[in-house]
């Protein structure tokens, strides 16, 4: 397993909610805004602001099958991107409570 894969998997495993993001991405901002509105505690890593961001993005493609951002995990489960998160908006309070993230 590559160092980036190990790091990405560690972030997913160690955080109830993990958002892999890019600081300039409007979809990432929308996802983080929704989670904030719901009072979720979440870990964000801005892939455009870390040295190994490109490698982490490659690792996420291996882990989740998704290369785009935001790439969101709740309770170690791949949720998907912003549209996926918005689509489960009504269920999110329950999902976050089960993940102990709110």
Q: Residue ranges of the alpha helices (H) in 38-101?
A: 53-64, 82-87, 92-98
The tens digit of pLDDT for each residue in 23-76 reads: 999 999 999 999 999 999 999 999 999 999 999 999 999 999 999 999 999 999
Residue 29 CB coordination number (10 Å): 15
Q: What is the pLDDT of residue 73?
A: 98
Q: How far apart are CA 70 and CA 99, in angstroms?
A: 19
Lookup: tokens for 53: 């961001």
Domain boundaries, the chain: 3-98
Output the pLDDT for position 1.
Answer: 78
Query: 3-98 has which fold?
Result: Glutaredoxin (3.40.30)
Residue 90 structure tokens: 């009504």
C-alpha–C-alpha distance, residues 39 and 42, integer Å: 9
């Amino acid at each position: 397993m590559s160092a980036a894969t190990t790091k990405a998997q560690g972030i997913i495993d160690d955080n109830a909610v993990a958002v892999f993001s890019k600081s300039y991405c409007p979809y990432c901002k929308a996802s983080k805004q929704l989670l904030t509105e719901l009072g979720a505690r979440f870990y964000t890593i801005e892939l455009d602001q870390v040295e190994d961001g490109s490698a982490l993005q490659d690792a996420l493609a291996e882990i989740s099958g998704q290369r785009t951002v935001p790439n969101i995990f709740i309770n170690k489960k791949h949720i998907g991107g912003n549209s996926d998160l918005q689509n489960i908006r009504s269920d999110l309070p329950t999902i976050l409570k089960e993940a102990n993230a709110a």
